[in-house]
Amino acid sequence: MKKYFYLLLIVIFTSMIFIGCSQKQGKAQEKSSVKKEITISAAASLQEPIKEIAKKFEDKKNVKINFNFGASGTLQKQIEQGASVDIFISAGKSQMDALEGNNLIDKASRKDIVKNSLVLIVSNSFDKNISSTEQLKDKNIKLVLGEIKTVPAGQYAEQYLKAVKLLDEFNSKITYAKDVKSVLTYVENGEAQAGFVYYSDAVNLKSSYVAYKVPEDTHSPIDYPGAIISSSKENALSKEFMEFIGNNDSKEIFAKYNFQVK
């Protein structure tokens, strides 16, 4: 009888060990199956290429990338207020400079990723024969710019209008939009006759056209700096993405959307 009792104890004890190991293994497998995530805050004008590049990175690394697109100045303020972000890519240097000045980015990770150009787009329904900004100054139009305080494209457009002494001519005609994609939407939908956007935004125009490419010497250089945020909890993965965004495949994607790559 004692023999059977001891055998029963051994069976119960062995079973408990097996169950305990199985639970630990299950938890370990569950933990390993959870994908790492990073969040990228990027200028609205980068939406198409960044999503395409990120998809390739996700597939290669089995990770998840979250996006936050908007005006660079707005994204800067969000980061300053403690938003959970791993990587910031701006459409202007001043926004990145401000974050660097407050030690909110990893300075060593900062690099210029691409360049862009500024163009004037005009609605097809308004006039299909515009080839300069001057042609619009005496017309009854609505000219859309990005908000000067937060949208670099708006800042570049204002610099250009000042440089060619046309700002006063257009002051009463100007309407401001929250970001450069909104400028595009206004003109494409016929709610405005003209607007200043990036050349990269003009890739898929349907109801408007590029009337004029703004000379680069009339405004600050349109550089897109990127950097890892100091508070990032996925620093290693963020570094990998920053390297990935500079490879040849990524450069081809940027070039497809009219960005200038090195």
pLDDT tens per residue, range 15-42: 555 445 445 454 444 444 578 999 999 9
The whole-number pLDDT of residue 34 equals 74
Query: Measured in whole angstroms, how far is the alpha carbon of residue 236 from the centre of its chain?
Result: 20
Question: What is the reported pLDDT for 67?
Answer: 96
Contact 39, 85 (CB under 8 A): yes
Q: Which residues contact 66 (CB under 8 A, 6 or more apart)?
A: 37, 38, 39, 40
Rounded distance between C-alpha atoms, residue 247 and residue 249, angstroms = 6
pLDDT digits (tens, 9 = 90+) for 37-94: 999 999 999 999 999 999 999 999 999 999 999 999 999 999 999 999 999 999 999 9
Q: For the segment 176-196, what is each residue's pLDDT rounded down to a tens digit? A: 999 999 999 999 999 999 999
Decide if pLDDT at 112 tops 50: yes
Q: Within 10 A of 152 (CB to CB), how many other CB atoms are there?
A: 30
Beta bridge partners of residue 68, listed in sequence order: 41
Q: How far apart are CA 133 and CA 24, in angstroms?
A: 69
Tokens 């990073």 — which residue?
38
3-state secondary structure of 176: strand
* Cα 207 to Cα 121: distance, rounded to the nearest angstrom: 10
Q: With beta carbons less than 8 A apart as the criterion, state whether 229 and 78 touch.
A: no
CB atoms near residue 64 (< 10 Å): 13
Q: What is the pLDDT of residue 204?
A: 86
Cβ neighbourhood burial of 108 (10 Å; 0-12, 13-18, 19+): exposed
* Statement: residue 9 has pLDDT above 50: no
Distance CA 40, CA 62 (A): 17
Token code pair at residue 209: 């056209």
Helix (H, G, I), strand (E, B) or coil at 141: coil
pTM of the model: 0.82
